[in-house]
Every structure is written in structure tokens, then in C-alpha cells.
Amino acid sequence: MPEESTPDTRCGYIAIVGKPNVGKSTLVNRILGQKLNITSRKPQTTRHQLLGIKTTPGCQFLYVDTPGIHGHEGRAMNRYMNRSALAVLQDVDVAVLVLERLEYDEDDARVVEFVSRSPGRQIVVINKVDQVEPKERLLPHLAMLSSKLPEAEFVPLSALKGDNVEVLEEIAERALPQGPFYFPDDQITDRSERFLVAEIIREKMMRQLSAELPYALTVQIEAFRTEGQLTRVEAVVLVERDSQKAILIGKGGQRLKRIGSQAREDIERLLDRKVMLRTWVRVKTNWSDDERALKSLGFGEDP
């Protein structure tokens, strides 16, 4: 029998990990060249694994954006996010650890420990280096990190500005195994439009609301119907207390209307069609600290 030829393409999974709010989702969006993952300045914006697919003529990169890993596991939601992020590291070809500038705390150290045990190629990204002057200040920091991850390659970059991001992509490509593509060339994620729409709505709420409230809400899509060039979306926002519901709705319903208007604009860009969005707010007491409630809301079902 003739020998099977080795594919001249590469394809593999690349986990993007780090503590909350270091720029993981911004980095994935920059690499993909479009906004796929929601972002905000608040920690724990990302709650689910989200696959971003970038295909070039010779390579298909499967970037897995993960929730921020942190040491505070008091609530069921926090435990879920940690499990989701850490599980990815055991089965990827490349583990990309994202750190912020010269910062290094207990949460960073915890992620370093997990990355050190990942079987994939290890890459350490130092994000926001455009804010470090002079650049020589990076040298002792890199030396310290190198002692903890001696097999890793290091890439200082700015995810927001795009500086040096192509270097990360080049290193990742070399680390991916030869093989056929897993997804069609034009596919950018494995997530459904319903999931992405819910995330857009949640992003607008996180950007609008005070520090604590965003972590007490989640968004469910109850109806998603396309009729010609119009898509009708009905979304329910769950909060944990009546007082949170009042804050989210705002005086005369103005805050919820403003959030809905901003979300609709982004959803129309995503779907490339007109959207009619209707949003309600309901109270589900203590949902974020209830394992059964989380499961019923779709947490723990990451692809």
C-alpha cells in the first residue's frame, strides 16, 4: 500500500490563559482582526471558553479564550470559571500565558504553576509593554519568569495597539502540528449566533453598571427568529435581588433602553441584518452561587 502523504498544512489549539483583566480577549480579537469576544475594564468579563478560528493558506489557528484564573473560589461561578480555564491547558498544542506589564502577584503565580504542567508549547506574553518605559525595566522581570518557565518563549506586545502580535502568531504556527483543517476556511468560531448575541448584551451592561452588579447578572436568549432581513431577539437578564433589578432598569426604564440600543447596534453588525431586540429583567435569587442553577443556565457546557 502506498504511504499516506503528510499534510502540508498545520492546525491546532492554542489556549489563552491568565488572571482576570490582563487583556486575553483583547488579544484574541486583535489576532482575529474582528471583535468576537466581549471586553470591559471589569475583571471576570469572560465567563466561558470561546473558540476563535483564524485560517491562513497554510495554517488554521484555534484560539481558546478562557475565563480569568483567580484564587478566590468562594462562589460557584468562580469555581466554574477556574475549572473551565484550567481544563483547557491539559489538551492544547500551545499554552499562551498573558501577564500585564511588570505585575506579578499570587494569581499570576498560580497560573504560571498550571502552565508549567501543560504538555503544549509554552509562550509567555507580556501585555501592555507600550506603557513600560524604559524598556530595560523588562529585563529583570523576564529573567524571573524565565526561571519559573525555562521552556517558554517570551513575547512582549500590546494587544490593544497590535504591536508585536505577529511575532506571537509566528511562534504559535511553528508549534502547531501538521494536519488538515478542522473547520471551514470562513468559520470564525464554534459558538452559535444566540450565544454571541447574549454576550453582546452582557458586555453593554458591564460597561454601564457599577463595580459589583455585573457579576450578579447573566443573559438568556429566550427567542431568536429570523424573518427575511429581520431578526427578532427576546432576551431575559437574570439578577439576584430586587434592588439590582431596579438599578439595571433605571429611572423610567431609561438605563435598560440605552443598553438595549447599544447592544442592538452591535448585534446588527454581527448578523449583518436588522434586529428587533426586546429585553426583560427577572430576579433569580443567588443564581451565581448555586451549582444547579449554573448548570441550568448553560454553565459547564463549554465545547
Q: Which three cell numbers stand for residue 180?
A: 488538515
Residues 162 and 223 grouped into a single domain: no
Question: Domain with 203 in it: what CATH number?
Answer: 3.30.300.20
Verify that 25 and 152 share a domain, yes or no: yes
Domain holding 288, by residue range, is 193-296
pLDDT at 224: 96
Give the contacts of 200 (CB within 8 A, at least 6 positions apart). 38, 263, 266, 267, 270
Is there a domain that residue 109 lies in? yes
Of 144, 175, 206, which residue sits at a domain end?
175
Tell me the pTM: 0.80
Confidence at residue 303, expressed as pLDDT on a 0 to 100 scale: 47
Identify the domain boundary among 141, 175, 209. 175
Nearest 10 degrees: Cα torsion 210, 212, 216, 222: 20
Residues 270, 230: one domain?
Answer: yes
pLDDT in tens, 68-126: 776 555 555 566 566 666 777 888 999 999 999 999 999 899 899 989 989 889 999 99
pLDDT under 50: residue ranges of the chain: 1-3, 303
1 CB-side CA count, 13 A: 3
DSSP structural state of residue 117: T
Q: Could you tell me which of 303, 286, 275 has the C-alpha nearest to residue 218?
A: 286
Q: Which three cell numbers stand for residue 5?
A: 502523504
For the chain, helix (H) and strand (E) counts, in that order, are 9, 9
**Chosen domain end from 125, 144, 175:** 175
